[in-house]
């Protein structure tokens, strides 16, 4: 066990800390983002001590810190024009650039990669310290691996007491979240980890900015990630954190239903007075920079309350908010409850009854349409599905080109019930799964109303995905004429199809709304708009 001291960063303390660094020890160092655990970047044994003290996975590379550009040659093999432009704009500051590594940097620093993360911090103590040491400084955040990064000297002490000698106290970190990490391309960057320097900031310097997949989504273990640090659960307090996305009203509702005596909340400043359970704030809702500054301290504060679950408010995802959201996503292991679910309306009815017209009208009303026939056409071409069908129906359902002979298959199933049952048993489970995937995509895009246009809504089981169901019915003679014209088929083919479908009563019994389509087009449109209005009123009424 070492004796750990927090020292004010005067000349004497810097000298002591320098001795530690040059003797192959590690030191707690303030930066403007978070505190770092510093070691001589050239000293392999010292680097190993960093991994040991933090309990850090060996495959997660470290960032090397420099005091000024004179040091860059010792660290990176190449410093492109784009890198130079980025350095001019953002260094010293919270930007880490991934660059081709110099031979002098040992492989343990980069966890075996040929690239190295380089940063020139702006915190005066960090720069003085690196300059005093005279060597580039490798430093990850100075927390125990998996815990929130430290934004105060006391956080470092809490995590690493006994494992390190000196912590230089540089006060509270101004930014509060770690640097933005980017891959540097030719006049472009790819953001691996968002931070204080935002997409808009980069766009002032380079012409293209990408945000890596790993910023918002959980990458599977086996996927090769651009930034190894992105795959770990991170920043987590002991309690299980769950983000609850929705209005403050939705949030309160959810919490009141799910809280027990070991539940706490992480909310925006000003919201705390409404809770009688343990509550920590992380900045005002409209101030992403303040949230960044507060978040890690807030997560640590939650740990002192011995909670088992923490429900968290979801921050804005733009600008600096992207970084706040990214850290919270990792703190909660990607567990987000979404309250603002879109309203799913099922639209069904016999073929030729007028579903397409209704869809056209509803698009005008801001409804997103999912064409389930189209989805089923995609599904039928999936190799596993095709294989099963050919096995059952024979090669005759495949054209020479390898495409499905849809007409042949249609005739085989519309005239033979057993065939139809088999086809459906293969198709329906895949179709509903695919519909759900598409709903999820639309939900992420913020769609409020989604309509499933599905002739076989009930038969396929997709009705279970719907909040409400509308059927459209039309007289048989009218339908027969429409489908003959629409699909250029004979009267017999049309009648075959119609006889394979359900009768009016079937739909009436299962639908919240029925649209009778036996008048003019205008009447159909008017009735459609009316039904949609009723659906919205009912949904809002339930929500309120
Ligand atoms: O603000 C910061 O960057 C702080 C302060 C101390 O400078 N440091 C920090 O380091 O956050 P650390 O080790 O906690 O996070 C480094 C991140 C990890 O996600 C790591 O995977 C990524 O940078 N990284 C480092 N070198 C890399 C490389 N060669 N290629 C891709 N990603 C790299
Ligand atoms: Mg870290």
N- to C-terminal Cα separation, the chain: 59
pLDDT tens digit string along 241-255? 999 988 898 899 899
Confidence grade of residue 237 (pLDDT, cut at 50, 70, 90): confident
Region of poorest pLDDT, from 154-158, 267-271, 280-284, 351-355: 351-355
The residue to which tokens 């009854």 are assigned: 353
User: Which ligand has the shortest distance to the CA of 130?
Assistant: 1
Mean pLDDT for the stretch of residues 419-429: 93
Which residue, 4, 168, 31, 43, is CA-closest to 95? Answer: 31
Query: How far is 299 from 381, CA to CA, in rounded Å?
Result: 49
pLDDT tens digit string along 23-46? 999 999 999 999 999 999 999 999
Which residue, 172, 183, 302, is CA-closest to 236? Answer: 302
Query: How far is 507 from 495, CA to CA, in rounded Å?
Result: 19
Confidence grade of residue 532 (pLDDT, cut at 50, 70, 90): very high
Can the peptide bond before residue 246 be classed as cis, meaning omega within 30 degrees of 0? no
Q: Is the pLDDT of residue 412 over 50?
A: yes
Tell me what the pLDDT averaged over the chain comes to: 93
Q: DSSP string of 445-512?
A: TT-SEEEEE-TTHHHHTGGGG-SEEEEEE--HHHHHHHHHHHHT--HHHHHHHHHTSPPHHHHHHH-S
Which residue, 384, 377, 439, is CA-closest to 409? Answer: 377
Task: Give the distance from CA 230 to its chain's centroid.
Answer: 12
Predicted local distance difference test score (pLDDT) of residue 496? 86
Query: How far is 393 from 344, CA to CA, in rounded Å?
Result: 35
Q: Is the pLDDT of residue 110 over 70?
A: yes
Predicted local distance difference test score (pLDDT) of residue 228? 65
Predicted local distance difference test score (pLDDT) of residue 444? 67
Q: Report the residue among 31, 102, 227, 233 best suited for mutation to probe ligand 1: largest number of ligand atoms under 8 A from its CB.
A: 227
Predicted local distance difference test score (pLDDT) of residue 329? 93
Rounded to the nearest whole angstrom, what is the distance from the C-alpha of residue 110 to the centroid of ligand 1?
A: 10
Q: Which atom of ligand 1 is found nearest the CA of 228?
A: 21
Q: Which atom of ligand 1 is found nearest the CA of 96?
A: 3
Mean pLDDT for the stretch of residues 43-67: 95
Q: Is the pLDDT of residue 468 over 80?
A: yes
pLDDT tens digit string along 297-355? 999 999 889 899 999 999 999 899 999 999 999 999 888 887 777 899 999 999 899 99
Rounded to the nearest whole angstrom, what is the distance from the C-alpha of residue 90 to the centroid of ligand 1?
A: 17
Q: Is the pLDDT of residue 104 over 70?
A: yes
Rounded to the nearest whole angstrom, what is the distance from the C-alpha of residue 61 to the centroid of ligand 1?
A: 7
Predicted local distance difference test score (pLDDT) of residue 220? 63
At how many degrees (to 10) do helices 288-303 and 321-331 cross? 20
Predicted local distance difference test score (pLDDT) of residue 311? 96
Q: Is the pLDDT of residue 542 over 50?
A: no
Q: Which atom of ligand 1 is found nearest the CA of 192?
A: 32
**Ligand 1: residue whose CA is nearest its atom 12:** 140
Rounded to the nearest whole angstrom, what is the distance from the C-alpha of residue 159 to the centroid of ligand 1?
A: 19
Contacts (Cβ under 8 Å, ≥6 apart) of 536: 343, 449
Bridge partners of 101, per DSSP, are 76
Query: How far is 177 from 102, CA to CA, in rounded Å?
Result: 28
Backbone angles phi, psi at 95, to 5 degrees: -125, 130
Predicted local distance difference test score (pLDDT) of residue 62? 97
**Ligand 1: residue whose CA is nearest its atom 18:** 229
Mean pLDDT for the stretch of residues 403-418: 88
Q: Are 277 and 259 contacting, i.e. CB atoms less than 8 angstroms apart?
A: yes
Confidence grade of residue 232 (pLDDT, cut at 50, 70, 90): low
Which carries the bigger pLDDT value, residue 221 or residue 307? 307
Q: Is the pLDDT of residue 234 over 90?
A: no
In this structure, the residues whose C-beta lies within 6 A of any atom of ligand 1 are 31, 33-34, 36, 60-63, 94, 96, 98, 110, 113, 115-117, 119, 121, 139-141, 178-179, 181, 192-193, 226-230
At how many degrees (to 10) do helices 476-487 and 491-499 cross? 120
């Amino acid at each position: 066990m070492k004796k750990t001291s927090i020292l004010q960063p005067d000349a004497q303390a810097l000298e002591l800390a320098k001795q530690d660094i040059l003797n192959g020890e590690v030191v707690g160092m303030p930066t403007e983002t978070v505190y770092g655990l510093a070691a001589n970047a050239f000293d392999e044994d010292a680097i190993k001590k960093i991994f040991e003290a933090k309990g850090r996975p060996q495959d997660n590379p470290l960032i090397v810190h420099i005091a000024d550009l004179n040091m860059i040659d010792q660290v990176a093999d190449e410093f492109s024009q784009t890198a130079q432009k980025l350095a001019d704009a953002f260094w010293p500051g919270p930007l880490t650039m991934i660059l081709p590594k110099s031979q002098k940097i040992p492989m343990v620093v980069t966890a075996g990669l040929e690239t190295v993360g380089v940063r020139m911090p702006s915190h005066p103590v960090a720069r003085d310290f690196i300059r005093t040491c005279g060597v580039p400084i490798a430093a990850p955040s100075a927390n125990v691996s998996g815990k929130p990064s430290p934004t105060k000297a006391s956080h470092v002490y809490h995590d690493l007491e006994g494992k390190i000698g000196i912590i230089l106290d540089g006060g509270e970190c101004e930014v509060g979240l770690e640097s933005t990490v980017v891959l540097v391309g030719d006049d472009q960057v790819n953001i691996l980890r968002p931070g204080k320097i935002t997409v808009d900031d980069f766009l002032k310097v380079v012409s293209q900015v990408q945000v890596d997949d790993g910023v918002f989504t959980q990458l599977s273990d086996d996927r090769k990630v651009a930034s190894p640090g992105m795959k770990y659960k991170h920043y987590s307090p002991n309690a299980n954190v769950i983000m609850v996305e929705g209005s403050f009203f939705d949030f309160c509702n959810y919490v009141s239903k799910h809280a027990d005596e070991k539940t706490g909340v992480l909310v925006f400043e000003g919201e705390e007075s409404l809770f009688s359970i343990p509550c920590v704030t992380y900045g005002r809702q409209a101030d992403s920079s303040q949230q960044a500054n507060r978040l890690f301290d807030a997560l640590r504060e939650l740990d002192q309350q011995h909670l088992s679950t923490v429900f968290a408010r979801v921050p804005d995802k733009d600008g600096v908010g992207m970084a706040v959201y990214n850290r919270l996503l990792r703190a909660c292991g990607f567990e987000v409850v979404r309250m603002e679910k879109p309203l799913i309306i099922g639209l069904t009815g016999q073929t030729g009854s007028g579903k397409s017209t209704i869809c056209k009208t509803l698009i005008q009303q801001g409804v997103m349409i999912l064409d389930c026939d189209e989805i089923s056409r995609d599904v039928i071409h999936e190799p596993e599905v095709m294989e099963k069908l050919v096995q059952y129906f024979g090669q005759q359902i495949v054209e020479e080109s390898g495409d499905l002979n849809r007409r042949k298959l249609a005739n085989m199933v519309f005239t033979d019930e057993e065939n139809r049952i088999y086809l459906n048993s293969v198709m329906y489970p895949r179709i509903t799964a695919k519909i759900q995937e598409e709903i999820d995509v639309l939900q992420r895009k913020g769609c409020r109303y989604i309509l499933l246009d599905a002739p076989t809504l009930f038969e396929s089981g997709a009705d279970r995905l719907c909040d409400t169901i509308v059927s459209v019915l039309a007289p048989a003679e009218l339908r027969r004429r429409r489908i003959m014209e629409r699909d250029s088929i004979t009267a017999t083919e049309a009648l075959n199809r119609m006889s394979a479908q359900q009768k009016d009563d079937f739909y009436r019994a299962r639908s919240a709304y029925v649209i009778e389509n036996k008048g003019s087009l205008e009447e159909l449109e008017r009735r459609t708009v009316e039904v949609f209005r009723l659906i919205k009123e009912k949904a809002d009424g339930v929500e309120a």
